[in-house]
Amino acid sequence: MNFFSVLFGKTDNSRLTEAVKNGAFLVDVRTPAEFSTGSVKGAVNIPLDSVQSQLSKFKNKKSIVVFCRSGARSSQAKGILEQTGFQNVINGGAWQNVNQVVNE
């Protein structure tokens, strides 16, 4: 396990792949400026600092995949969502990782 996996949690690609295949709600928690430079097809941009105020957008989603540049902000977003009662949240880590899974 590498340093970032220890810090931010290992991304479970089999769980991620299954969620993506089943139509997970894909959420890029980077800033709008970062999002505009490229993201995952079908993803919505809800920046980390807006997650708490945008909880209604997450309701009734079968599964939620959050991701960012490195996995740090998505780890925080996952924590916020879980603290507010969401149990179906996956930290996808870096957006490139999620993009690779989406394009498989």
Pick the closest to residue 64 from 76, 77, 52 (CA basis). 77
DSSP bridge pairs for 43: none
68 included as an active-site residue: yes
Longest dimension (CA), the chain: 35
From 68, 81, 94, 98, the catalytic residue = 68
Active site positions, annotated:
68
